[in-house]
Amino acid sequence: MTTRTTRSEKLDLRLSAEAKRMLAAAASAAGRSVSDFVLESALGRAEETLADRRSFQLDADRWAAFSAALDAPTRDMPRLKRLLNEPGIFSGRDPA
């Protein structure tokens, strides 16, 4: 998951005593320091969170369909156009 690099940055964290005990118990069960356990867990969760925002994979048929949809001419959508042209509740304009 992570390569061994020099750790030069610090992250401070406030947590409850119960949360600290749980992290310490989990780190101990994994045979890791609390710092290593928390860092590895947080980075794993960060990778999961960002995964679908970085790339997605499609087989050849789905890629062709996706590319065709991107290349297709736009469709006229009058209801959506009307909605996007209406003043918003925060615009300060009178809707009439």
Q: Is 13 left (phi over 0), alpha (psi -120 to 50) or beta?
A: beta
Q: Which domain holds residue 61?
A: 17-72
Number of structural domains (the chain) is: 1
Tell me whether residue 4 is in a domain: no
The tens place of each residue's pLDDT in the chain, 96 residues long, gives 545 678 899 999 999 999 999 999 999 999 999 999 999 999 999 998 998 787 778 999 999 999 999 999 999 999 999 999 998 888 776 555
pTM of the model: 0.53
Question: Would you say residue 1 lies in a domain?
Answer: no
Q: Is residue 51 domain-resident?
A: yes
From residue 32, give the alpha-carbon distance in Å to each of 4, 12, 36, 45, 64: 15, 19, 6, 18, 46
2 phi, psi to nearest 5 deg? -120, 150
